[in-house]
């Protein structure tokens, strides 16, 4: 029997079959792609989200200090007669501090090398229109240096003793910091207008194992010439001990809050032909007490710029930078990028290259601290020996020079030291 079929029906079944097969293949490929993306490392963030512990990079490492531990044992802080001002003298501080450290063992380890930085400025806005801007940058510089080296810092902008005004205010802040931080062996005062210009350098505390007070200056100028300009009280370190508290008491006794201030004002004016301020008072203590134990506990540092005068330093930075760049080109360790937290390791790599650089005046080593004495960035009462513009220009240059040492760990640099607003990627 002959059966008649419709036109094209002979090819329909193969066509349907191939369409079905193609659909299966597309579905298989789609599922394969989804599986591949979800299980491979091509999207690591997705796989990491499955773990609730993924962000806990430090695991269960204990903190450096146990900040939540303070045993219920009476200490000097519980003594009603204890006070932070010069009106309340402290006795037996070494014993009290030692007992506190025994009760707080996490702070005791390494306390002999621990530095606490103190700085400050006035509480009111600056009269100089650029003053507050510069003070912010000065402070940021100190925070950068402290962070790199693991130091704590206290910025004070109030009068802790209303009568200790102006330059005398630092003594109140330093004393209060010593008592508030028994975990620190050294308290370091640095003026608001001083800049750390070598972010790698650390104070060589081992040099001062027998001293309690360190200040920049020239011993001959102080002890032989009896010149109050032979030192500068804008940057000094003081050991946290009873000797230092007694020393601060004697120093502050010449200040405006003291009943003896008028007597000392006349003595200092006669001795130095200069008004009674913190620096002439310090110079007098050193000059008049040079034969007793006071002088043996004081170190006048001439070996490096614990405090360097800006006029001497500002025009040396170009030559110093060129020297450092040349050295870096020849040592791949110095060119290696690294985390900011390990900067001290790379600072040590520099030392063999700098052994002949010297320190201080005439050196091609980076100056440690540059002090803008006389520029008065806040009140604007600039020393008439130089102009306001010369101060501002130098402050921009020095601050940017220091900032470049910090920014390189973040991948940037100031190409022009005169312009703080512009950075370029390294």
> DSSP for 337-359?
---GGGHHHHHHHHGGGGTTT-S
Task: Name every residue whose Cβ is closer than 8 Å to that of residue 340 and which is 6 or more positions away in sequence.
Answer: 147, 148, 406, 409, 410
Q: How many percent of the chain have pLDDT more than 70?
A: 84
Give residue-wise pLDDT tens across range 57-106: 655 655 678 999 999 999 999 999 999 999 999 999 999 999 999 999 99
Mean local confidence (pLDDT), 179-199: 98
Percent of the chain scoring above 90 in pLDDT: 77
Question: Is a pLDDT exceeding 50 seen at residue 225?
Answer: yes
pLDDT-derived band at 361 (thresholds 50, 70, 90) equals confident
The C-alpha atoms of residue 299 and residue 208 are separated, in whole angstroms, by 7
d(CA 335, CA 257) in angstroms, rounded, equals: 53
Q: Once rounded to an integer, what is the mean pLDDT over residues 161-168?
A: 93
Top pLDDT among 29 and 215 is at 215
Tokens 């100089």 belong to which residue?
128
Tens of pLDDT, residue by residue over 365-400, are 999 999 999 999 998 888 888 898 999 999 999 999
pLDDT at 274: 87
233-288 tens-digit pLDDT: 999 999 999 999 999 999 999 999 999 999 999 999 999 988 889 999 999 999 88
pLDDT band at 342 (very low <50, low <70, confident <90, very high): very high
* Closest to 196 in 3D by CA, of 299, 305, 357: 305
Q: Which domains does the chain possess?
A: 76-309 (3.90.550.10), 311-425 (no CATH)
Residue 53's pLDDT band (cuts 50, 70, 90)? low
What angle, 0 to 180 degrees and rounded to 10, lies between the N-to-C axes of helices 317-329 and 388-407? 10
Pair 349, 334: CB distance under 8 Å: yes
- What pLDDT, on a 0 to 100 scale, did the predictor assign at position 110? 87
Q: How many CB atoms lie within 10 A of CB 185?
A: 19
Identify the pLDDT of residue 288: 83
Cβ neighbours around 412 below 10 Å, total: 15
């Amino acid at each position: 029997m002959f059966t008649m079929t419709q036109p094209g029906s002979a090819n329909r079944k193969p066509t349907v079959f191939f369409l079905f097969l193609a659909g299966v293949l597309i579905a298989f490929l789609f599922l394969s792609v989804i599986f591949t993306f979800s299980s491979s490392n091509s999207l690591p963030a997705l796989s990491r989200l499955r773990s609730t512990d993924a962000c806990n990079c430090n695991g269960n490492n204990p903190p450096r200090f146990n900040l939540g531990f303070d045993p219920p044992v009476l200490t000097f802080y519980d003594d009603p007669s204890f006070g932070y001002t010069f009106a309340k003298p402290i006795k037996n501080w070494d014993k009290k501090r030692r007992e506190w450290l025994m009760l707080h063992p996490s702070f005791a380890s390494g306390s002999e090398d621990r530095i606490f930085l103190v700085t400050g400025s006035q509480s009111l806005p600056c009269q100089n229109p650029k003053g507050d801007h510069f003070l912010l940058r000065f402070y940021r510089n100190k925070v950068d240096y402290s962070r790199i080296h693991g130091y704590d810092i206290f910025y004070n902008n109030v009068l802790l003793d209303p009568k200790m005004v102006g330059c005398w205010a630092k003594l109140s802040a330093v004393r209060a910091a010593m008592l508030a931080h028994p975990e620190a062996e050294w308290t370091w005062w640095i003026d608001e207008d001083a800049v750390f210009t070598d972010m790698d350098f650390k104070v060589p505390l081992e040099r001062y194992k027998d001293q309690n007070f360190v200040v920049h200056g020239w011993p001959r100028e102080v002890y032989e010439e009896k010149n109050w300009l032979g030192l500068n009280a804008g940057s000094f370190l003081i050991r946290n001990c009873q000797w230092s508290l007694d020393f601060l008491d004697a120093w502050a006794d010449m200040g405006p809050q003291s009943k003896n201030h008028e007597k000392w004002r006349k003595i200092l004016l006669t001795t130095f032909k200069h008004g009674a301020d913190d620096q002439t008072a310090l110079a007098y203590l050193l000059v008049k007490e040079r034969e007793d134990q006071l002088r043996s506990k004081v170190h006048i540092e001439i070996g490096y710029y614990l405090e360097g005068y800006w006029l001497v330093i500002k025009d040396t930075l170009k030559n110093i930078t060129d020297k450092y760049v040349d050295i870096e080109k020849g040592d791949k360790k110095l060119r290696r990028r690294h985390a900011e937290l390990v900067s001290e390791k790379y600072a040590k790599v520099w030392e063999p290259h700098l052994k002949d650089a010297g320190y201080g005046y005439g050196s091609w080593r980076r100056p440690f601290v540059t002090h803008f004495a006389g520029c008065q960035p806040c009140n604007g009462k600039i020393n008439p020996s130089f102009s306001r513009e010369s101060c501002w220009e130098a402050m921009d240059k020095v601050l940017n020079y220091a900032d470049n040492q910090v920014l390189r760990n973040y991948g940037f640099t100031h190409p022009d030291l005169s312009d703080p607003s512009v950075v370029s990627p390294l």
